[in-house]
Amino acid sequence: MSTYNGEKYLNQQIESILNQKDVDLTLYVRDDGSTDNTVSIIDEFCSKSSNIVFIKGSNIGYAMSFMWLVYYCTSNESNYYAFSDQDDIWEETKLISAINLLNEKSDLSKPALYYSDLKVVDKNEEFIRMANDWEGKIDKFMILTFIGIRGCTMVYNQSLQNILTSYKVSKIPGHDTFVALVAFWTGCVVYDHKAYILYRQTGQNVSITGTSKLDKFKKNLRYVYKRITVKSNERQIMANELLNYAAYIDNIEDVKKVAVYKNSFQSTLKLLVDKKYFKHTLSINFTNRILMLLQKF
């Protein structure tokens, strides 16, 4: 868990993690320079529980703060790893349900990642909708070119952790999308249509999930704007980072095609006409092609 000024809902989030059934867990928390009471709240939990490891850090942004934790957990004492937000509520069987499905659907000697649907709720925990627009339909090309996976639903195994910690990324737009990207290209990804998490929409969330169709549309517009400006070339950046795991990836040339698309007009054209990179909606495919032509992909 990475925290930043999360005092309002943090108690519920941590309590729901510590109350998980049928698992032995350690909660690693890195604070990313909070200026509210977040640190005090975590200190209080630490005084009552030996299952929490707390690191007080400087502000490096949520993505690299989470990746810092990935690299910090380098021992082989854990069988599984999971990300947590600071303002959700986990149902008590969230982790064991993920572990059971991973055991059932994957070869645990190889990299494997679980993700699930989630229940979108408002700040008062009132149910809004399920968040299953793309879940279960994603493949490695879709996640390379647009889609992300919500990190708060993820659970992954030691084999994937070993790959992730074999190289330290320098800069990525999002920790969860990148970890899922590595999983899709190196191993097995398992989707659960069931949901074990109340995903709270507070108006401050980093995710682009919306509480209504209009809200979701507005957030997607803002996302596209960011892709052209502050998040310019985020997919190329992640593809370049993914190349550092080439030893674990078959068909690495498919990743290189995104990583080098700006090298020449011919490279851009090769990406533009390759249908396997355009499996989204017509609007998303159109947007991606425009970003490629603008050299902002």
| pLDDT tens, residue by residue, 235-248 | 999 999 999 999 99
Q: What is the mean pLDDT of the chain?
A: 92
Q: Which of 187, 216, 245 represents a domain boundary (last residue)?
A: 216
- Contact by Cβ (8 Å): 23, 57: no
212 and 229 assigned to the same domain: no
100 and 243 assigned to the same domain: no
254 and 266 assigned to the same domain: yes
Q: What is the pLDDT of residues 249-279, one digit of tens each?
A: 999 999 999 999 999 999 999 999 999 999 9
178 and 267 assigned to the same domain: no
Q: What is the pLDDT of residues 44-82, one digit of tens each?
A: 999 999 999 999 999 999 999 999 999 999 876 789 999
Asked if pLDDT for residue 295 goes beyond 90, the answer is: yes
Distance, in Å, from the CA atom of 83 to the CA atom of 199, rounded to the nearest integer, reads: 13
Predicted TM-score of the model (pTM):
0.91
Expressed as residue numbers, the domain containing 212 is 2-216
The residue with tokens 């190349």 is: 243
Q: Which of 113, 55, 62, 69 is nearest to 86 (CA)?
A: 62
Amino acid in the structure at residue 226: K
212 and 228 assigned to the same domain: no
Residue 207: per-residue pLDDT: 52
111 and 236 assigned to the same domain: no
